[in-house]
Amino acid sequence: MKSAIIIITGIIFILLSTSAHAVAFGASPATLTFDIGKGDSLEKIVSVSTNSLTYVGVSYSISDEIKDLITVSPTSGLKTKIDEPLEITVTAKSSLFEELGSHMGTITFTTTPTENTAGGTGSAIATGVAVKVTVNIGTVKAVKTAAASGTKSISSGLMLAIATIVLLILAAAMFLTRPKKKSKKK
Amino acid sequence: MNKQVLWLLAIALATTFVFGFQAILADTASGNVTITNAAPTIGTVTLWNQAGANAAIDLSAGSTVTVTANVTVTDTNGGGNVNTATGTLYHSTSTSGGSNDENIHLTNSSCTLSGVSGNTVIATCAFTLNYMALNGTWTANITATDLSSESVSGTDDNTVNSLAALDVTDATINFGSMALGTNSTTATNMTIRSKGNIQIDAIYSGTNYTCTSGTIPATNTKYSLTSANYDALTTGLTESAVTQTGFDLGVRGVASSDGVDSDKSEYWGILIPTSGVSGTCTNTLTVTAVAG
C-alpha cells in the first residue's frame, strides 16, 4: 500500500514537472532570391524542419505580393518530424508581360497546435516560420543546372549572339551545298 | 702424376674460396636495405551537405544534422602507412586551429580511414552541426598523418544556409477563470526560444475566441515585450499577421552564453466582454519566426 502511494506520487510529480512545449519549427534558407527574365522560371528548395518526435502537420500560405509569381510543391500531405525535414520546391515564374523590377513577399509555413487549453480561457499556440522571398524580374534569364540547388544565369545578349552564330553557320552550309547551275551549251 | 693431382686440388680450393666468399658477401648486403619514408599527399577534399550532396547545408530547427568531408590520401609507402586522420570544420570567422565553439568551430580528432587500395586510403570526417551554427561559409580541413608522423592537409568550403526557427516553451496560454467585464490585472508570460542560426522577429496572429456560448474578438487580446497590466500592454492581437520588428531574438551562443538558450518573453492579457459570453473560451495563437 505504502509503495503504491510512493509510485503514484512519483508519477504525478513527473507529469507536473514535464511542461508541454509547442515544437521547434523553422525553415532553411530563411530568405530566397530569384533573378529571372520575363517568361522565365526558376526552382529553389526550402527545407522545413522540427524537433518534434512525432509528425507535425504543416500548412502554407503565400503573401499577396508574390502570389502570381510563386508556386510551391508539394501542396498537400505536408508533414515533418525530427530527422525528416520537409523539402519544398519553390518555383518563381514570370509571364512575358510581367513588369520589370523586384517583387517581395513571404511564404509562411505553420504547424497545427499540439495541445488545447485545459479549462479556463486561453490560447493554443501554433508555431510558424515565414520565408522572405524576393523575385527580381529583369532581362537576365536563369538556367537551372544539373545540381539540385544550384542555379546559373546567362544574359539574353549572349543567347542572342549564340543564336546568330548558329544561323550564320547554317546559312553558310546551305550556300556551299546549293545545286550548281548548268552552263548553257551554245 | 702427383704434380697434376696437386694442380687440380689447388684449382678446386681457389674456386671454392672465390665463390664461397661472394656468397657470404651477398647474404650480408640483403639485410641492410632501408626504405626511406615518403610523405603522404592529399587529393581534393569534398564537404558534403546533410543529405550527402555537394550542395549547401540546411540545418534542422532545434536539432542537429551530420555532415561529412572526405578525401583520398596517397602514400607511396602504401595506403596502410597512413595512420591517423583528424578534421576541423569552422566558420569564416574562425580558423582551423581555433577553439571549439557551438556557433563557429567543430573538431573531429578521430576520422575514419577506409578503403585501402595500393597506395591510397580514404579519410572521412563526420561533424555534427547544431541548429545555432552560424550561416555563411564553412571550411572543412582534413589532416592525414603517416606512421612516420609526416602529415598533409587539404580543405574544402561549403555554405551553411540561414535557418529561421523558434520554439514556444509553453504549448498554451491560460488566462484562468475571469468574470464578465474584467481584464488581466497581471500579464501572462510566454517564452519564445531561438532554435535557428539567425536573429529573428516574431509575427503574431490569432483567431477569435470560441466560447461555450458566444465569441470574443481576437482584438480583445493585447501583448507587449514588457510586463504590464492590460491597459498598458502595447499591441492588440489581430487575425491578420503583424510583425513585431523590435523583437530581435538572437542566436544561442551569440545573444547568450554558449550552451545557454536565447529566450525572450512576450506578455499577454485579455479583456472579457461585459455580456454575451459564458463558459470556456479558446482560440489559436500563431507565433511565426521571420528573419529580422
Q: How far is A154 from chain B (nearest CA, A)?
A: 21
Residue A84: count of CB within 10 angstroms of its CB: 13
Pairing between β-strand B120-130 and β-strand B112-117 as defined by DSSP bridges: antiparallel
C-alpha to C-alpha distances, A12 to A7, A15, A20, A22, nearest whole angstrom: 9, 5, 15, 21
C-alpha to C-alpha distances, B87 to A2, A172, B45, B106, B111, nearest whole angstrom: 56, 58, 11, 8, 7
Instruction: Quote the cell numbers at residue B141.
Output: 580541413
Q: Does pLDDT of A109 surpass 70?
A: yes
Nearest CA in chain A to B163: A28
> What percentage of chain A has pLDDT greater than the value 70?
67
Nearest to B107 by CA among B57, B158, B143: B143
Q: Which CATH architecture has domain A22-115+123-173?
A: Sandwich (2.60)
**CB-CB contact of B196 with B61 (8 Å):** yes
**CB-CB contact of B197 with B134 (8 Å):** yes
Average pLDDT over residues A36-43: 95
Q: What is the pLDDT of residue A145?
A: 39
Instruction: Quote the cell numbers at residue B289.
Output: 519566426
- Provide the whole-model pTM: 0.81
Chain A residues lying within 8 Å of B271, measured CB to CB: none
Contacting residues for A124 by C-beta, under 8 A, at least 6 apart: A113, A115, A116, A117, B171, B172, B282, B283, B284, B285
A122 and B196 within 8 Å at the Cβ level: the answer is no
Q: What is the pLDDT of residue B17?
A: 52
Residue identified by cell 570526417 is: B125
Q: How far is B83 from chain A (nearest CA, A)?
A: 34
Q: Report all structural domains of chain B as residue ranges with CATH numbers, in order of start.
A: 41-160 (2.60.40.10), 166-291 (2.60.40)
Handedness of CA A63, A67, A73, A74 (dihedral sign): positive
Q: What is the pLDDT of residue A143?
A: 52
Chain A residues lying within 8 Å of B280, measured CB to CB: 117, 119-121
**Comparison of pLDDT for B130 and A23, the residue scoring more:** B130
What span, in angstroms and rounded, lies between the C-alpha atoms of B264 and B189?
10
Q: Does pLDDT of A35 surpass 80?
A: yes
Nearest CA in chain B to A118: B174
Among the partner residues B62, B173, B285, nearest to A51 by beta-carbon distance: B62
A23 and B167 within 8 Å at the Cβ level: the answer is yes
Per-residue pLDDT band for A183 (boundaries 50, 70, 90) equals very low
Mean pLDDT of successive 10-residue stretches along chain B, which has 292 residues: 62 55 51 91 98 98 98 98 98 98 98 98 98 98 98 98 96 93 96 98 98 97 97 96 96 97 97 97 96 96
**ipTM rounded to 2 decimals:** 0.86
A128 and B175 within 8 Å at the Cβ level: the answer is no
Chain B residues lying within 8 Å of A56, measured CB to CB: none
User: How many interchain CB pairs under 8 A, A with B?
Assistant: 207
B169 and A125 within 8 Å at the Cβ level: the answer is no
> What percentage of chain A has pLDDT greater than the value 90?
53
CA B114 to chain centre: 23
A127 and B170 within 8 Å at the Cβ level: the answer is no
Q: Does pLDDT of A1 surpass 90?
A: no
Q: What is the pLDDT of residue A97?
A: 86
Chain A residues lying within 8 Å of B238, measured CB to CB: none
What span, in angstroms and rounded, lies between the C-alpha atoms of B192 and B171?
11
Angle at A76 between CA A72 and CA A80, to 5 degrees: 90
List A141's β-bridge partners, or say none. A154
**CB-CB contact of B229 with B186 (8 Å):** yes
Among the partner residues B131, B287, B291, nearest to A30 by beta-carbon distance: B291
Chain A, 120 to 179: residues with Cβ < 8 Å from chain B are 120-132, 147-150
How confident is the model over B137-183, as pLDDT tens digits?
999 999 999 999 999 999 999 999 999 999 999 889 999 999 999 99
Nearest to B133 by CA among B186, B201, B196: B196
Strands (E), chain A: 25-28, 31-37, 41-50, 56-62, 70-73, 79-80, 86-93, 101-111, 121-138, 140-144, 151-155
B287 and A51 within 8 Å at the Cβ level: the answer is no
Among the partner residues A121, A122, A130, nearest to B203 by beta-carbon distance: A130
Contacting residues for A31 by C-beta, under 8 A, at least 6 apart: A131, A132, A133, A134, B162, B291
Chain A residues lying within 8 Å of B172, measured CB to CB: 20, 115-118, 122-125
Q: What is the pLDDT of residue A169?
A: 78
Handedness of CA B129, B134, B136, B140 (dihedral sign): negative
DSSP B130: E
Interface test with B, best of A121, A131, A149 (most B CBs within 10 A): A121
Q: Mean pLDDT for chain A? A: 78
Upper half-sphere CA count for residue A178 (Cβ side, 13 Å):
9
How confident is the model over A51-86, as pLDDT tens digits?
999 999 999 999 999 999 999 999 999 999 999 999
Chain A residues lying within 8 Å of B170, measured CB to CB: 19-22, 125
Per-residue pLDDT band for A171 (boundaries 50, 70, 90) equals confident
Q: What is the pLDDT of residue A156?
A: 46
Chain B residues lying within 8 Å of A62, measured CB to CB: none
Q: What is the pLDDT of residue A181?
A: 56
**CB-CB contact of A70 with A103 (8 Å):** no
Per-residue pLDDT band for A5 (boundaries 50, 70, 90) equals very low
Q: How far is A121 from chain B (nearest CA, A)?
A: 5
